[in-house]
Amino acid sequence: MLVSSDDQAVYLWDADSGALIRKFTGHSDRVASAVFPPDGRLIATASDDKTARIWDAASGRVLHVLSGHRNRAWFAAFSPDGRRLVTASYDKTARVWDVTTGRELMRLLGHTAPVSSATYSPDGRYIVTASTDRTARIWEVATGRETTQFKHDDQVDSAAFAHDGRRVVTGLSDRTAHVWDATNGRQLVVLSGHTDLIGSVSFSPDDSRIVTASSDQTARVWDARSGEQLLLLRGHTGQVWSAPPTAVASSPPPAITRCASGTRRPAPRF
C-alpha cells in the first residue's frame, strides 16, 4: 500500500504484514498524491513543491522530476498502459507527461481555478478533470481538445470515469456527488447524504456501485443507477480522503478507506 504524507515522504507498506517496505524521500513539501501504474513497477507522486516525480518502486530511486507547474501539484494518475502520467495543479492546468523520458507532452488549458483531480478513461483516449471553478471537463488525449463540460453549483473536488467509459461521477464541496452521461453531458442522478465535502469518488469494477469518501469521516456505497445509498462506512476519526473499491467479484465490492488520522480500514465483504 502507498501512503502519501504531510512529512514530504511516501511510504510503501506490505498490505498483509503491515511492515514498512520503503520510504521515498526527495520532495520539499507535502506529498498530496502517490500512485502505481498498472504493472506496479513505478510510483508517481505529486507535491505542494510544484513538482511530480517518477520513482522506481523496487529501488526507491528517482527516475524523473517533472517540473513545470507554477503552483502546487495536487494529483497524479497513470494512463491505462502506464506510458503517460497526468497531473493536476493549483495553477489551473492539468499536464500530460511521458513516463519514459519525463518530458511534458501537453497542457490542458481552460479551467479558471485550481484543478483538483485528473484521471484517464479506461481506454486511455480521454481525461476527466475536476476543478474549483465548479466544472468537470473531458479532454481528448490525442489533441488536448475539450469535448464535454459538466457545470455544477459548487466546486468540484474529484471526478472519475466508469469502467465502460460511458459515465462520469463527480464529488463536490456541497456534499453531493453527481453521475453524468459522458457522451452528451446530461446529468443522470445525484447522490445525497454526506454532511461534508466529497474528496474522492469511484465506480466499482462492474460499474453498478459508486464509492464516495468525505470529510464527514465516512465513506458510502451507492447504487450507480438509482442513487440509493446502500452502505455507510463509519469508524474513522478524521476526514476520509479515498475509498477505492477493490477489484473483486462482489456486490457492492470491498473498499479500503484512507483517513486524515493516518489509518486505513478495509470495508467488510458485503
83 CB neighbour count, 10 Å cutoff: 12
pLDDT for the residue 169? 98
Note the pLDDT tens digit of each residue in 6-25: 899 999 988 788 899 999 99
> Are the C-beta atoms of 169 and 210 separated by less than 8 Å?
yes
**Nine cell digits for residue 235:** 469508524
Note the pLDDT tens digit of each residue in 145-179: 999 999 999 999 999 999 999 999 999 999 999 99
Q: pTM for this structure?
A: 0.88
Q: Which of 79-83, 118-122, 194-198 has the lowest mean pLDDT?
A: 194-198
pLDDT for the residue 15? 79
Domains and CATH numbers, the chain: 37-266 (2.130.10.10)
Tell me phi and psi for residue 118, to 5 degrees: -155, 125
pLDDT for the residue 43? 97
Tell me phi and psi for residue 221, to 5 degrees: -115, 135
> Three-state DSSP class for 57?
coil
